[in-house]
Structure 1
Amino acid sequence: MKIGILGTGGMAAALGGAWVAAGHSVMIGGRRPQRAQRIAELVAGAGTGSLADAARHGDAVLLAVPAAAAPQLAAELAGDLAGRTVVDCTNPLVPTDDGLMLDVGETGSIARRLAAAAPEAYVVKAFNLCHVSIWTLRPPTFENVPLAVPFCADHPTAIAATQTLIGSIGCTPAPCGGLARAAYLEATAALAIGMWWAGTQPRAAFPSPAEAPLP
């Protein structure tokens, strides 16, 4: 699969490296060519270009910029993103005295804001629950169980592409419904990251169905 990555931070390097290792064709795009080149050097085998180049390169496009900047960038590249799967891995979190809170505007989620900014793109929410370091593992496996990656998507093409992106790096796709449910993934990130910061373990709050059968 051809994958474009918009952004030159840690998520671009970590997921880009995982996808290159899985055999995908990856192009990293940024506003500063030198920064994009440095990230590509960390991701041996990735190409570089402008943000528009990366958007046009990808059958799937990872939007890996700060959440506050993501909607404007999606609007700027709306024409280049049309007909492509656009994966939103951002977390719109703001530290407050009461802990991490969401900052998503009136749409309910950053993912829905991206869909409004680039209405002909197939927006997906995914890869937002884990720290960047997790995506450098080959593969991300814990207690002999592959990491599950929840995602929300509406379009069949986007669903299939996202399952490939997740499965090809050794993780398990975990569909969580349409994009209307992306707000729940973003809220889960706020809760889980807040628990980690507090020194507690989010995984311990979710026993498996076999251990706690549903009624």
Structure 2
Amino acid sequence: MRISIFGAGEMAEALGAKWTARGHDLMIAGRSPDKAAGLAKHLNARSGSFAEAARHAEVALIAVLYQGMDYTLDRIGDGLRGIPVIDCNNPVETEGFTLATPPGVSMAQRIAGVTGGHVVKAFNLCHADVWRMSAMTFDGRPLTVPYCGDNPDALAVAAGLIEDIGGIPLRTGDLRHAHYLEASAAVIIAQLFGGRPTRTVFNLVDDQPTSQRQR
């Protein structure tokens, strides 16, 4: 699958490395062309402009700090219209660890409104170090990865990409529920800033075998 990643930071590197290992065709675009090119070389992928990455994409990942979201969305425009767009971002300010978006409005919904893409919120509840783990297992349980969105095809793509990195997909609702995933991230981010290890996670725990869980 052709995946374009907008952003060249730790999340782009951690997720991109696992996706290239599974045979996906990646292109990296970012505010710094040199940084994007360096990451692309590291991942054995390609780099390009925002417009080139939009044309390349069968699915896109937007992985930038929320402070840089306006810049990124301005350059993407509606270039991702009609395709799956995965949003792993958290608009959380780190002084009071509260959401920087207006009440009831998620970053994911904003991205959907600007790009016209079929946005799925996913991968936002863990530090990049978790995604780098060769086996994302905690207390003997594989990591459950919540995701939400409106479009069935985009949700199926996101679930497949979650499985590609070794996670267990857990659908948590439609795109309106992205606000709650972002709020949940504020809790875990506060814990990380408070000194907990970067591999600290929330995980789904029940008495059912993993094979019986539903997406």
For the aligned pair, the TM-score class normalised by the smaller chain equals 0.7 to 0.9
Whole-Å Cα distance in 2 between the matches of residues 115 and 161 of structure 1? 16
What pairs with 1:1-215 in structure 2 (closer than 5 Å)? 1-43=1-43, 45-96=44-95, 99-105=96-102, 108-118=105-115, 120-199=116-195, 208-210=205-207
Whole-Å Cα distance in 2 between the matches of residues 55 and 147 of structure 1? 30
Whether contact under 8 Å (1:126, 1:150) holds in the other structure is: yes
Whole-Å Cα distance in 2 between the matches of residues 31 and 37 of structure 1? 11
Normalising by the residue count of structure 1, what TM-score does the alignment of the two structures yield?
0.87
Flag as ranges the 4+ runs of structure 1 deviating above 4 A: 199-204
Whole-Å Cα distance in 1 between the matches of residues 13 and 74 of structure 2? 24
Q: What is the deviation of 1:95?
A: 2.2
1:41-65 Cα offsets, whole Å, 9 max, x none, are 221x211111221122121100011
Q: What is the deviation of 1:169?
A: 1.4
Q: What is the deviation of 1:203?
A: 5.8
Whole-Å Cα distance in 2 between the matches of residues 207 and 64 of structure 1? 24
Letter aligned with residue 52 of structure 1: A
Change in CA separation of 1:57 and 1:139 when aligned onto 2, cut-off 3 Å: farther
Q: What is the deviation of 1:123?
A: 0.8
Whether contact under 8 Å (1:107, 1:113) holds in the other structure is: no
Gaps of 5+ in 2: 209-215
Whole-Å Cα distance in 2 between the matches of residues 159 and 10 of structure 1? 24
Match of 1:81, SS state, is: coil
**Coordinate RMSD, CA, aligned:** 2.2
Letter aligned with residue 170 of structure 1: G
Gaps of 5+ in 1: none
Query: Aligned pairs, how many?
Result: 206
Whether contact under 8 Å (2:149, 2:175) holds in the other structure is: yes
Change in CA separation of 1:181 and 1:101 when aligned onto 2, cut-off 3 Å: same
Change in CA separation of 1:74 and 1:207 when aligned onto 2, cut-off 3 Å: closer
Match of 2:109, SS state, is: helix
Normalising by the residue count of structure 2, what TM-score does the alignment of the two structures yield?
0.87
Whole-Å Cα distance in 1 between the matches of residues 83 and 24 of structure 2? 16
Q: What is the deviation of 1:30?
A: 1.9
Whether contact under 8 Å (2:27, 2:53) holds in the other structure is: yes
Whether contact under 8 Å (1:92, 1:186) holds in the other structure is: yes
Whether contact under 8 Å (2:126, 2:201) holds in the other structure is: no
Aligned to 2:211: none
